[in-house]
Amino acid sequence: MRRIASPALLATALMTAPVAALAQVTVDTAQGPVTLQDNPDSVAVYDMAALDTITALGVTPTGSIDNILVPALRDAAAGATPVGTLFEPDLEALAGLAPDLVIVGGRSSTQLAAASQVAPAIDMTFGPDLLADARARIDAYGALFAKTAQAEEMTATLDARLADLRAAADGQGTALIVMTNGPKMSAYGAGSRFGWIFDATGLEEAVPGLDDATHGQAISHEFIAQADPDWLLVVDRGAAIGEDGQGAMETLRSDLVAGTTAWTQDQVIQLDPAATYISAGGYGSTMAVLDQLTQAFAD
């Protein structure tokens, strides 16, 4: 005689049946090693460098910030649910999304504790050695999302591009990295947030020992004239964050700057502002800046 189990018995059986353990993976983060669910299905990303690298790996985010300022990343995350800003997560929207993982870093790193109230969260902020951390993040995301082969290919391509840049920049002299912010200017040295460019190119600092503060060392046109760099590398912060107003070249333009070697030899490089300032260290952004520099030195 065929017996039909009652709903109550089925529920009891489901509750008492052994549940297969979820596969886990341990990845390195800015806060140390963290063990997570392997290959999470849903991930919310508040860090633009992380968004850059995971989308390069073929991972589609389910949630991200309201206003993505990097055009390529805006397209990559077009279907993602808005879950707040870089500086303030929308916890209600995040809870509604119910992601398996939240990634913060850089500007959003202060929100790690808040995001962790909703879902497992990791801080993927970069340290002083951006290039080393860029490689480490590629490896970590490759392991986390079960894409180790793609990660190895990306790292190999990155290393090849770095070798090309080093060759193109060999013997090119000195450089000064300047960030403009409307009418204001700051210079950045080898120990700064943009110091990785000196590592990548092998160029010498036109002014050694600059203040390595986050916002750089405030400078004037006279400072640039006295430094007389062979190359002037420029980051336009206003353009990076979408502000209207005075652009970098307008800020730099003066008789003093016009007399420098960089200006007279047409060796002023306006670096991709979003890739250099907003999503620095992300795979696509790093590759874009490396290619831009290589082409400039090879011309």
Within 10 A of 97 (CB to CB), how many other CB atoms are there? 20
61: Cα separation from own chain's centroid: 15
Q: Return the domain boundaries, the chain.
A: 22-144, 170-296
Q: Cα angle vertex 115, ends 111, 116, to 5°?
A: 115
pLDDT tens digits, 19-66: 345 689 999 999 999 999 999 999 999 999 999 999 999 999 999 999
Confidence (pTM): 0.90
The CATH code for residues 170-296 is 3.40.50.1980
pLDDT tens digits, 78-131: 999 999 999 999 999 999 999 999 999 999 999 999 999 999 999 999 999 999
Strand pairing report for 81-82 and 32-37: unpaired
> Smallest Cα–Cα separation from 35: which of 23, 44, 26, 48?
26
Identity of residue 141: Y
Instruction: List Cβ neighbours of 202 (8 Å cut-off, separation of 6 or more).
Output: 166, 169, 170
Higher pLDDT, 245 or 116: 116
Contact yes or no for 53/35 (Cβ under 8 A): no
Higher pLDDT, 286 or 14: 286
Q: What is the mean pLDDT of residues 8-13?
A: 40
Contact yes or no for 275/288 (Cβ under 8 A): yes
CATH class of 22-144: alpha beta
